[in-house]
Amino acid sequence: MAFVFDPMGTTVLITGASSGLGRGFAAEFARRGADLVLVARRRDKLQALADELSERYGTTSTVIAADLAAPGGVDEVVSGLEGRGIRIASLVNNAGYGVAGPFLRSSSKDATGQIDLNITALVKLTHALLPHLTAHAATKPGTGVLLTVSSVAGHAPVPDFAIYAATKAFVLSFTEALAFELKETGVKVLALSPGPTETEFFAVAGNDDQSFGPRETVDQVIQTTFRALDRARTPASVVSGLRNKVQAVGAGVLPRGLVLDVAGRVSGR
Ligand SMILES: NC(=O)c1ccc[n+]([C@@H]2O[C@H](COP(=O)([O-])OP(=O)(O)OC[C@H]3O[C@@H](n4cnc5c(N)ncnc54)[C@H](OP(=O)(O)O)[C@@H]3O)[C@@H](O)[C@H]2O)c1
């Protein structure tokens, strides 16, 4: 089967590939014939995924276990690529986490840790690896992507998820600006905003009570993403799921005070 977005024979680096959406991205890129560089902290999970995808699709995966939020974590990944002579065509900035609860009661580690991973590591990795993407696209335009994972939470302030929502607003704004800057390069640039999705996210966040509403499956979010990538003119931003789209559009057009009020109620305030 021929895909419009065809990364066959290219290499894609996916952060946060040990679970949830990252695993889903890895499987779809492998199904489309790409080789993978899988990054997260849990090496055993990455290796198990690499083995599974190799058996299923015959793809080669390189595993780099690294804590991207730690000082030197991104450098480890970049030097891991250099040491192996790997040049990538696509970068999926997916690793991220949130911590639920009032800011006033959050630990300093949680408050800044989300920024370290969701923003600082993402910007550092993008800065280091974007030249790979533009060099690849110069010869094979449209076959590589800078994909970042924002969130529907990035479209509005979210009380009790204040830092997380703010980091995702950064990711959305940063990616949309890069989409414009890079539009003549042949690199597709896409910010994905999932809504609540069935992954380890809510258990990690310390809020697994379904209060944010029905959850999509990983497969649904991956399908939304690749439908956008399969478009000749990939949009700079896509929201997964009708309910989440309505929420994101509403947040953009309604008065900010009302948006904040509604978001506060959804958070149970
Ligand atoms: N699930 C949702 O409802 C939802 C909604 C909107 C947006 N998102 C976003 O989607 C992205 C993927 O999350 P998910 O839902 O798939 O959650 P997940 O299942 O918890 O996956 C998070 C991934 O990030 C990795 N990670 C966490 N901390 C890391 C660190 N310090 N260094 C390297 N890797 C790290 C984890 O691997 P290790 O633990 O092995 O390091 C894991 O692979 C995140 O950016 C999240 O904010 C999720």
Query: 68: closest CA among 16, 9, 136?
Result: 16
The band of 35, judged by pLDDT with boundaries at 50, 70 and 90, is: very high
Cα distances from 3 to residues 173, 226, 227, 232, 246, in angstroms, run 29, 10, 10, 11, 29
Q: Could you say which of 5, 25, 164, 226 is catalytic?
A: 164
- Three-class SS string for 42-70? CHHHHHHHHHHHHHHHCCCEEEEECCCCC
Residue 24, ligand 1, Cβ within 6 A: no
Residue 241, ligand 1, Cβ within 6 A: no
Instruction: Find out whether 123 and 174 touch, Cβ atoms under 8 Å.
Output: yes
The structure tokens listed for 89 are: 């065509």
Residue 69, ligand 1, Cβ within 6 A: yes
Domains of the chain, residue spans: 11-266
- In terms of residues, how long is the chain? 269
The stretch 143-153 carries a mean pLDDT of 98
Whether the per-residue pLDDT at 119 is higher than 90: the answer is yes
The stretch 229-242 carries a mean pLDDT of 96
Measured at the CA of 229, the angle between CA 224 and CA 235, to 5 degrees, comes to 90
Q: Which atom of ligand 1 is nearest to the CA of 41?
A: 41
Whether the per-residue pLDDT at 269 is higher than 80: the answer is no
CATH fold, domain 11-266, is Rossmann fold (3.40.50)
Q: Is 97 a known active-site residue?
A: no
The band of 1, judged by pLDDT with boundaries at 50, 70 and 90, is: low
Whether the per-residue pLDDT at 245 is higher than 80: the answer is yes
Instruction: Find out whether 79 and 37 touch, Cβ atoms under 8 Å.
Output: no
Q: Which atom of ligand 1 is nearest to the CA of 69?
A: 31
The stretch 13-33 carries a mean pLDDT of 98
Taking only the tens place, the pLDDT of each residue in 180-231 is: 999 999 999 999 999 999 999 999 999 877 677 889 999 999 999 999 999 9
Q: Which atom of ligand 1 is nearest to the CA of 67?
A: 32
Residue 192, ligand 1, Cβ within 6 A: no
The band of 40, judged by pLDDT with boundaries at 50, 70 and 90, is: very high
Report pLDDT for 142: 96
Instruction: Find out whether 50 and 74 touch, Cβ atoms under 8 Å.
Output: no
Residue 41, φ and ψ in degrees, nearest 5 = -85, -35
Whether the per-residue pLDDT at 115 is higher than 90: the answer is yes
Query: 199: closest CA among 15, 12, 16, 14?
Result: 16
Distance from residue 18's CA to the centre of ligand 1 (Å): 9
239 burial via Cβ count (<10 Å: 0-12, 13-18, 19+): buried
Residue 175, Cβ neighbours under 10 Å: how many? 24
Residue 154, ligand 1, Cβ within 6 A: no
**How many whole angstroms separate alpha carbon 110 and alpha carbon 115?**
9
The band of 265, judged by pLDDT with boundaries at 50, 70 and 90, is: confident
Identify the sign of the CA torsion 217, 219, 221, 224: negative
Maximal CA-CA distance, the chain: 53
The stretch 153-168 carries a mean pLDDT of 96
Whether the per-residue pLDDT at 258 is higher than 70: the answer is yes
